[in-house]
Amino acid sequence: MVIKNVELEIVCGITSKLPDTDLMEIAFAGKSNVGKSSLINALLNRKSLARTSATPGKTQTINFYNVNKELYLVDLPGYGYAKVSPKEKEQWGKLIERYLNTSKKLKAVFLLIDIRHEPTANDKMMYDWIVYHGYNPIIIATKLDKLKRSQIQKHIKMVKQGLDLIPGTKVIPFSSVTKQGREEIWDLVKTMEDEEDDRTE
């Protein structure tokens, strides 16, 4: 994917009305410190478009990045470690749920999981929740560069078993440092775009 222009076009907070867009949307979900901002920056070839932070839970809004005026990458609020009140976490949950339920253009949800560790209860809950809303999430196993090559297959298996994935679910190992997995993600998105174009012709 050649990135010609990118713009953070829409930001939705807890009380915002969600946009009714006319471009395909691809959403990214994951816990607060899983590397979601780093992934989005790597996909878009930008250093700091999505704000990365040492403090987990920085994304407290749904952010719509317009890519080449062709599609939106949608960054969902992180779950898990953020030091916020239970009430706020509940509101974020409702915001994500509202988005999953109402978006007419959401084509796929990518769920980010840290490849180094077994999926947490929160990860499993999020996976089941996305499936419940009618999507079959594509798993991005982040922080690949932190593993030795010989460990990768074992850890992918651990992720698959930990989430109890639907058979055939795609798992893409990814590193924001080496950019491994970037092209595979864009190839998938391109296939979805082509399918969308065929449908609208």
3-state secondary structure the chain: CCCCCEEEEEEECCCCCCCCCCCEEEEEEEECCCCHHHHHHHHCCCCCCCCCCCCCCCCCCEEEEEECCCEEEEECCCECCCCCCHHHHHHHHHHHHHHHHHCCCEEEEEEEEECCCCCCHHHHHHHHHHHHCCCCCEEEEECHHHCCHHHHHHHHHHHHHHHCCCCCCCEEECCCCCCCCHHHHHHHHHHHHHHHHHHHC
Lowest mean pLDDT among 1-15, 135-149, 172-186: 1-15
Q: What is the mean pLDDT of residues 47-76?
A: 80
Q: What is the mean pLDDT of residues 81-110?
A: 85
For residue 133, the tally of other CB atoms under 10 A from its CB is 15
Q: What is the mean pLDDT of the chain?
A: 90
Q: What is the mean pLDDT of residues 129-153?
A: 96
- Residue 51 has what pLDDT? 66
Give residue 82's pLDDT band: very low, low, confident or very high (50, 70, 90). Answer: low
Model pLDDT for residues 150-189, shown as the tens digit of each residue: 999 999 999 999 999 999 999 999 999 999 999 999 999 9
- In the sheet with 24-30, reading across from the earlier edge strand, the strands are 6-12, 62-67, 71-75, 24-30, 106-114, 138-142, 171-173
- Residue 79 has what pLDDT? 79
Give residue 101's pLDDT band: very low, low, confident or very high (50, 70, 90). Answer: very high
**Taking 90 as the threshold, does the pLDDT of residue 127 lie above it?**
yes
Structure tokens at 112: 């980010």
**Taking 70 as the threshold, does the pLDDT of residue 26 lie above it?**
yes
pTM of the entire predicted model: 0.92
Closest by CA position to 180, among listed 143, 153, 138: 143
More confident position, 78 or 105: 105
- Residue 173 has what pLDDT? 98
